[in-house]
A and B are shown apart, each in its own frame.
Chain A
Amino acid sequence: MVSVIGVSETWQSPHRCICPLFLREAHQHATPLNPYIQQLSNELYDAYEEDKLDAFGLYIYGVVLLAGRTLPQLPNAPTAPAILMKSILQFPYNWSAWLDLAACALDDAHVEIEIEQLLQPSLSGHFMYHFFCAHLQSEHQAHDEALSIYEQWMDPLLFGASPFLLAQYGIMQYHLRQFAPAKRILEDLHYHMPYRLDCMDVLSNILYVQQNSVALSQLAHTAVKVDKYRSETCCIVGNYYSLKQQHAKAIQYFQRAVKLDRNFTSAWTLMGHEYVEWKRTANAMEAYRRAIQSCPNDYRAYYGLGQTYEFLNMYMYALYYYKRAVQLRPYDARMWCALGTSFVQLQRPHDAVRAYERAIQQGDAEGVATQRLAALYKQVGQVEKAAQCYMRHLELRFQVTNPQGAVASDVGLDSLLNGLVVEGPEAEALLYLAIYHKEHGEFDTASVFASRLLEYPGPEKEQAKALLRELRQRGAGQGPTIRTRSRGPPDSGFRFSP
């Protein structure tokens, strides 16, 4: 779908996010301009002054003002948001007007204050205003709040069966990485309205992440039958080929998607990912840059660029892009982890520690950040925290390996260790903890940790054997063993998220 009405027509796929036509300086000259904007701006100004514009006339005037922001303005000309709000107050059902107003608000924070003053008094109960708020929340990456608004309006007594709301609900869940409910609702929508392709590329993303090639091929087949030359369809087919590891074909379809709609951010981002898979880093970076150009608030493009630069060992650049990603999505542990990795590569262990701590705060379910953080604590010499971190890592890995079992803190140390799958990071943790407990005179605990390493085929095994020998010698010469320290967090004040 080519965006023909400025930004307003881009609402179909919300992660094809709104980007005002007022682009940054570097791109102004590269971006073509509508040749009639100046003329329209003047003519509509005259009509506006003579009060000849109805709500729709005001709307088109607002669109023209928005498109012509880079051009010289008449001295007393009103601003785009002011005109759009006037239009909305007269006729609140024009969703395109709300979307263009959102574009203004994203561009300039003062607009939100004006919206609050002018629109909220009379329209705060109106569902269009609620949808607008939800949309803006989503653009600000506050998907939680947006989701709660949509949920409220999906009540069967209100707009229960609205396809728009169902699609938005699915998309918000997708952004929150709750793939199961997102898939459920989008598949349901697709089942009932197979011809509605508006957000089906999001569904294809979910199916790709879940590696569900059967469902993805069915979706692609249906989409091609419905409308072959549409950006969403091309993205779906591109995802399908990507899952089959056919990089060239996938790229071909993503390119077709952006030819059909050059502001389709998602297609650019997916193209970038595909080039990365294909090891074409230069093309990947170009694709990610185009994604950022069309939507400066899409964290995936920044994250992708960071990963590409990391792959090229250009860590300063990677750091810059990861910082942007983190600013956009501060509650996502992966972003903080990536930031931490960059700091480590740049020999900034203290910054890395803080980054990993934030990652853990945001819920590092896989235990990736805990292990790296523990290694860093060891490096900077914070022994207590390192031990605690390693222990936490083992607990998390136990949780991952035994998702149905008891909570890690409830099982005894023996069961925990036996329930683990010991790989590199776990071996490192076990060895460190064994040494740690030995240093603190807790020989029993130390030997429990060390013995767990005896089956591990790596260098830690030899060190564990040596440790056990030493423990037996020293244990034999000592009196009754000291009570083992509890596994709970010591009083260092360092807390993990539950």
Chain B
Amino acid sequence: MDAESEQVQTIVDDRNISGFQLVPSCVSAMMKKSPSATGRPNVAITPQGPGFLGGSASSASPFIRLSPLPQQLQAADDASSNVNVTWNAAQVRADLQIAAKLLSDRHLNLAAKFAIEQWMGLPAEIVSEASITTNSSCIPKELSSFDYFQEETCPAVFYAKTLMDLGEYAHAAATLSQPALSKTVETMPPPLPDLSAFGIYLRAYALYMAGERRKEEDYAESKGYVPLGASWSR
């Protein structure tokens, strides 16, 4: 299948997301542009006649204008061929790698899975012509260079992270909270002072998960069945 390479669109930003280049609409055999591909009109047709459906019909997708593709497609169609494809696959791969690690460290497993699947989708051999610089990365430096394993000195954060891996969410949140005046488990005390950003996030997330679990368990019991616990460890 021929991929006619197109004009590159560079997005330059006043923050760090600069130099991220995209090759739009490679006109490949997979791009089915003929309207008969799906045999239907492309845009939802609004019903004719007022009040035909007895109310307001929100049938047309209001979201079409949000897609950035039409302008790029237009640009691509105008471009001459034989422009080198320069979307920076190496940079994207590096970014996805870092992102997967960051997400995984923070127990955002589904988002990590998504990032890794895109990483898997990148071509196996990437020619690293363009150098990978921190300036062209989409991830801010303070995040990408942060490794909680190295930076955190307080054992509480490590303990909390491990407890979350084990599924003990409330315990994890309590680890990062102030000691309770009365040793009760009814309420969660406020967070420890001087927590790092990572610590604040971890505690909030653990507490939220603990609450969600309680909610689902209460719901299941009210419906009269025992919640199947296997799903919580995911």
Contacts and interface: CB of A to CB of B under 8 A. Distances in A.
Interface of A: 1-2, 4-6, 8-9, 11-12, 32-37, 39-40, 43-44, 47, 52-57, 60-61, 63-64, 67, 89-97, 105, 109, 112, 115-116, 120-127, 129-130, 133, 136-137, 140-142, 144-145, 147-149, 151-152, 154-165, 176, 178, 229-230, 259-262, 323, 326-328, 330-331, 351, 354, 358, 361-363
Given A32-B215, A109-B62, A112-B63, A93 B103 contact: yes
A64 B69 CA distance: 32
B57 A327 contact: yes
Q: Which 10 A-B pairs have the closest CB atoms?
A: A162-B121, A93-B99, A34-B211, A159-B121, A36-B211, A142-B61, A124-B68, A54-B197, A95-B114, A330-B59
Nearest to B106: A56
A54 B95 contact: no
B209 interface: yes
B63 A133 contact: yes
B123 A156 contact: yes
Contacts of A11: 110, 114
Nearest to A143: B38
A362 B123 contact: no
A63 B208 contact: yes
B228 A260 contact: yes
A158 B63 contact: no
Contacts of A157: 3, 23, 26, 85, 87, 89, 123
Given A93-B96, A136-B63, A32 B22 contact: no
Contacts of B227: 2, 259
B53 A327 contact: yes
A32 B219 contact: yes
The A interface is mostly helix, strand or loop, or mixed, namely: helix
A353 to B, nearest CB: 11
Contact of A331 (B3, B15, B40, B106): B40
B185 interface: no
A383 to B, nearest CB: 24
B132 interface: no
Interface string B121-139: 1110000000000000011
Nearest to A255: B225
Contacts of B228: 229, 259-260
Contacts of B44: 141-142, 330-331
A4 B45 contact: no
B52 A43 contact: no
B188 A327 contact: no
Contact of B49 (A36, A156, A354): A354
A54 B201 contact: yes
Contacts of B13: 121-122
A475 to B, nearest CB: 44
Given A94-B103, A137-B67, A53 B201 contact: yes
B212 interface: yes
Nearest to B67: A133
Given A133-B63, A260-B228, A152 B191 contact: no
B117 A130 contact: no
Contacts of A34: 208, 211-212, 214-215
A34 B209 CA distance: 9
Interface residues of B, number: 103
Contacts of A133: 63, 66-69
Contacts of B158: none
Contact of B212 (A5, A60, A176, A351): A5
Given A97-B111, A125-B68, 10 more contacts: A2-B227, A5-B212, A6-B212, A53-B201, A93-B102, A93-B139, A95-B110, A95-B111, A96-B111, A158-B26
20 contacts: A5-B110, A11-B110, A35-B214, A57-B200, A60-B201, A60-B208, A90-B140, A109-B62, A124-B68, A126-B17, A126-B138, A142-B61, A156-B123, A161-B122, A162-B118, A259-B228, A262-B216, A327-B53, A327-B59, A330-B47
Interface centre among B44, B95, B208 (most CB of A within 10 A): B208
Contacts of B54: 323
A94 B108 contact: yes
B31 A141 contact: no
Contacts of A230: 231
Contacts of A363: 39-40
Given A151-B30, A157-B26, A43 B191 contact: yes
B154 interface: no
Nearest to B30: A151
A125 B99 contact: no
Nearest to A153: B121
Interface string B194-234: 01011011001101111111111011101001011011101
Contacts of B52: 351, 354
Nearest to A123: B17
B46 A330 contact: yes
A164 B61 contact: no
A160 B191 CA distance: 45
A156 B126 CA distance: 12
A120 to B, nearest CB: 7
A104 B53 CA distance: 27
A122 B63 contact: no
B81 interface: no
B44 to A, nearest CB: 5
B142 to A, nearest CB: 7
Contacts of B234: 1
A154 B117 contact: no
A54 B139 CA distance: 12
A124 B11 CA distance: 8
A34 B188 CA distance: 13
